[in-house]
Chain A
Amino acid sequence: MESDPNKIIGEVTQSDYKYGFVTDIETEYAPKGLSEDTVRYISGKKNEPAFMLEYRLKAFRHWLTMKEPKWAHLEIPPIDFQDIFFYAAPKKKKEYESLDQVDPELLATFNKLGISLEEQKKLSGVAVDAVIDSVSVKTTFSDTLSKYGILFCSMSEAVQHHPELVKQYLGSVVPYTDNYYAALNSAVFSDGSFCYIPKGVRCPVELSTYFRINAANTGQFERTLIVADEGAYVSYMEGCTAPQRDENQLHAAVVEIVAMKDASVKYSTVQNWYPGDKNGKGGIYNFVTKRGICKGNNSKISWTQVETGSAVTWKYPSCILLGDNSVGEFYSVAVTNNHQQADTGTKMMHLGKNTKSTIISKGISAGKSNNSYRGLVRISKNATNSRNYSQCDSLLLGSGCGAHTWPYIQVENKSSIVEHEATTSKISEDQLFYCQQRGMNAESAIGLIVNGYAKEVLKQLPMEFAVEAQKLLSISLEGSVG
């Protein structure tokens, strides 16, 4: 039968990764493997002040005492941490005065990725920081931003130029003791983005970082810190891609967000790391700790993520709702195909009074993949009149995949209301038939339906991202879903 959904799904899931090229850029590496010397090498390369080195070493020593978390619904072969380059940088980087001095290969890379720094700078009004392998290569728009007192630069620069802010906030939301990968990141993080929005400032442009792993056998450990001072607002976007390689690569990032009184931070991610091939060979291991704290009253942190890439995803962007009336949001679309595995979700920790959180999670699994939502909602004793609403749906495409939902709900407060709902089902054959009857081919019908299914989340994305994300959804499911 022409419209056998399994067949369609089979066809639609076979598409190839579009960002799998390798850029030929001269790269400088730290010696392979991990030891105190590696940590010292990285810190030395970056000319870091003593407090940073000390922080890294403390983190490293703590990491040695820890074990990899095993609780997630993931099968991960053991990782040999001695077989990884913990630092790789495009060799000719140094200081760029203007884009003209950037390695043309690098610029070409960004153009291929659809982020022409040049154009971004002039036209789109999006300030971009690009991190390739381990270092930030260019930040656009810094001048414009500095007029508002906004600091937006690479983490390395922040350590040099704003050590007091780094010292105050780095590790304040995700301490190095938090988990195995956060400890690792704290020891060896190479670069990342730093952003500070002063009191009462509404950041006039979208801030954006583009992450790219290029070099082989390289781990990427970027560190992002966003601080929104009282009454400030910022919308931040993050995109990621990597070349197609047969071996697995490790990505263990940490993102910390601090929102003071009346501040609001919106963090959007389109994660498209290389997911591995059809047989599950290669791909990125994506172990990321993202957490924000609503420190002041009436603050708000909103996470939106579209997860289509990575062989393995382990990621729970979370909110600590400390301030009274603070708001946490988590909107997620996670697509897994072929042999991908994702265990993703969020934690909403309600500590302040009248705190509110919303969780909308849409999982889509195809091929032989496993896709898990794991989320914790905790209402503490003092968080009176708090409210949570969670809706976690899973869509299954094909008989070989798995979809799992693990909500953890802990309530210690009688005046609060927590609601969790979830459904798991396959794509509706009635909807497919309806679309096809109106003349669509199966692929575009599936693409349409899946986009509709994810719409609640996609509409949360900034314009610049939404279009890309929609395309990505269709592409990811191509040959499995259109």
Chain B
Amino acid sequence: MQGAVKQCITKELMLTLYGDRRAVISANDYPGLTALRDDAIRRFQELGFPTTKLEAWKHTDLKESFAKEYDVVLKADDAVDVQKVFRCNIPHLDTAIMGQLNGEYVSKDVPLMTLGNGIIMGSLAEAMKKYPALIEAHLGKYADSVTDSFTALNTAFSRDGVFIYVPDNVKSPKPVQIINVIHHDENLFLQSRNLIVLGKNSRLSLVHCDDSYNHQPSFSNVVTEIHLGEHAFMDHYKLQNLNNSSTLISSVYFQLEAAAGLESHYISLNGGLLRNNLRLRFNGPHGNANIYGIYLMDRKQHTDNQVFVDHAFPDCTSGELFKGILDEHSSAVFNGHVLVERNAVRTNAYQSNRNILLTETAKINSKPFLEIYNDDVKCSHGSTTGQLDQDAMYYLRQRGIGEESARMLLMYAYADEVIGKIAIDPLRRRVEDMVKKRLQGELQICEACVLHCNTPENPVEFTIDMTKI
């Protein structure tokens, strides 16, 4: 790493670093981008890092994450054994893999490639050089660098990440998989930026994985901007399986043009502190978005899902379903916010957050929020927290099923409502497997990561055979 000195992350450090290393950071910039960075760092200077005094951060305390010292990555090493690092072996999962190591795009052959059907994929830094106009039309257009300090900081510092462009009318034949791996001998602070642009009437399945390979602490501030053109459709998966010392601030900004469709799945299996900011704007009528989330936390893990859906245009439909199982000392936050603007008539919106606490020390803060400025809407939300359905427990036991098996069956069924929505079969089977393992307390880091299971040939044997027969 260039210029890496282990230190505590503070606002002052960030400002000094930006001042000192601006030239390195903006080396690949197209002209307008440096100005965008300068604006963003000014906003960051005004906002600073969030504290629990802010409503949006009230129940997520970054104190412990900030107490550690990190290497700040400005530019990564070049020499990486790609084959060794990326070993995705979910049986039968056929994807185009894009590797990211410690925030930087890692190319197996070329940093940026254009496929026969016109799809461009590769390094964002490389794309800035090659297609500045295309990047400029989208980069920073959807992310909020004005009120969100982590996004502002990312805009100022980020140099690289993944870029995907699907041209109009092109349907990607197989899913694209981004594997973002953190693997370093020292603590790492990194910021990467991804941009994904789907042209009109195009289609893409995207699997986005965050994994750790070791137990070293890390702090990632990742921003992803995703633009769906008119009638475009995206099937989006976020799989998070990081070690218990990691902090991940992941901000994903979606913009959906008229009649665009999105199915997004957030699957959080492991992580020290996970903060998912998902902001979605319907920028045209007749859009449709479903966002599903499942989080399974234990030990002192904390997960925080912030989901904001802006119905700015008429006739859009959105649904949110987030479910959690919290064990041991873990805690979770769900803040859903649906905004229906004045002119967004015939809006249909639904929010649901369900939680099961397994111990007396687990905690949940749930705030599903509806803000509605229009009478021609159908909106509803619900939040429940509690135990497994006691009537169902009784019913299962009356049929001779033991209490432990019954509990496992119901927990799995509970998670299945979200997992069952995964449309890529091999991925769904693997996640089902992971969740079963996770529920039985067998899942640990390294042997545990979604994509690097040591023994993929032997799927987990559940005491209850849940596979379809």
Contacts and interface: CB of A to CB of B under 8 A. Distances in A.
B355 interface: yes
B260 interface: no
B457 interface: no
B377 A425 contact: yes
A234 to B, nearest CB: 33
Contacts of A409: 364-367, 383, 385
A402 B55 CA distance: 22
Given A397-B375, A413-B360, A407 B383 contact: yes
Interface string B48-78: 0000000100000000000000000000000
Nearest to A376: B367
Interface stretch (A320-328, A338-346, A415-423): A415-423
Given A399-B375, A402-B371, A404-B370, A414 B364 contact: no
B376 interface: yes
A417 B385 contact: yes
A178 B293 CA distance: 38
B387 interface: yes
A423 B372 contact: no
A423 B379 contact: yes
Given A421-B380, A422-B380, A403 B372 contact: yes
Interface string A424-443: 11100000000000000000
B370 A405 contact: yes
A14 to B, nearest CB: 17
A426 B376 contact: yes
B369 to A, nearest CB: 5
Interface in A301-328: none
Nearest to A391: B382
Interface string B310-346: 0000000000000000000000000000000010010
Contacts of A426: 375-377
A410 B376 CA distance: 31
B342 to A, nearest CB: 8
A81 interface: no
A424 B385 contact: no
A216 B429 CA distance: 72
A415 B363 contact: no
Contacts of B385: 409, 411, 416-418
B373 A402 contact: yes
A342 to B, nearest CB: 14
B380 A424 contact: yes
A412 B363 contact: yes
Residue from the set A381, A401, A424 with the largest chain B CB neighbour count within 10 Å: A424
A396 B375 contact: yes
Nearest to B374: A399
B362 interface: yes
Contacts of A406: 367, 369
Contacts of B383: 407, 409, 418-420
B381 interface: yes
Contacts of A420: 366, 368, 381-384
A61 B118 CA distance: 71
A409 B362 CA distance: 14
B55 A407 contact: no
Contact of A404 (B360, B369, B376): B369
Q: Which of B357, B369, B375 has the most CB of A within 10 A?
A: B375
A57 to B, nearest CB: 30
A71 B55 CA distance: 9
Looking at A401, A412, A414, A420, which has the most chain B CB atoms within 10 Å of its CB? A414
Contact of B374 (A396, A407, A412): A396
Contacts of A398: 375
B376 A405 contact: no
A424 B366 CA distance: 19
Interface string B126-156: 0000000000000000000000000000000
A394 interface: yes
Given A409-B365, A413-B360, A424 B386 contact: no
A372 to B, nearest CB: 9
Contacts of A423: 379-380
B387 A415 contact: yes
A421 B382 CA distance: 4
B368 A396 contact: no
A358 to B, nearest CB: 15
A408 interface: yes
Contacts of A401: 373, 375
Given A402-B373, A425-B378, A414 B387 contact: yes
A402 B380 contact: no
Interface in A58-93: 71, 73
Given A405-B381, A417-B387, A411 B370 contact: no
A408 B360 CA distance: 20
Contacts of A396: 372, 374-375, 377
Contacts of B373: 401-402
Interface in A358-417: 381, 394, 396-399, 401-417
B393 interface: no
A413 B356 CA distance: 10
Contacts of B362: 412, 414
Nearest to A419: B384
A417 B384 contact: yes
B90 interface: no
Contact of B367 (A381, A402, A408): A408
A416 B377 contact: no
Contacts of A421: 380-382
Contact of A417 (B374, B377, B379, B386): B386
A272 B379 CA distance: 29
Nearest to B370: A405
B358 interface: yes
B359 interface: yes
A404 B375 CA distance: 12
A308 B345 CA distance: 27
Contacts of A424: 370, 372, 377-380
A71 B58 CA distance: 13
A388 B4 CA distance: 52
Interface string B91-118: 0000000000000000000000000000
Nearest to A425: B378
B358 to A, nearest CB: 6
B357 A413 contact: yes
Nearest to A413: B360
Given A407-B368, A421-B380, A414 B360 contact: yes
30 contacts: A381-B361, A401-B373, A402-B371, A403-B372, A404-B371, A407-B366, A407-B369, A408-B366, A410-B366, A411-B363, A411-B364, A411-B385, A413-B357, A414-B358, A414-B362, A414-B387, A415-B387, A416-B385, A416-B386, A417-B386, A418-B386, A419-B386, A420-B366, A420-B368, A420-B381, A420-B384, A424-B372, A424-B378, A424-B379, A426-B377
Which 4 pairs show the lowest CB-CB distances between chains A and B? A417-B386, A396-B375, A414-B357, A426-B375
Given A410-B364, A414-B359, A424-B378, 11 more contacts: A398-B375, A399-B376, A404-B369, A414-B362, A415-B387, A416-B385, A417-B387, A420-B381, A421-B380, A422-B368, A423-B379
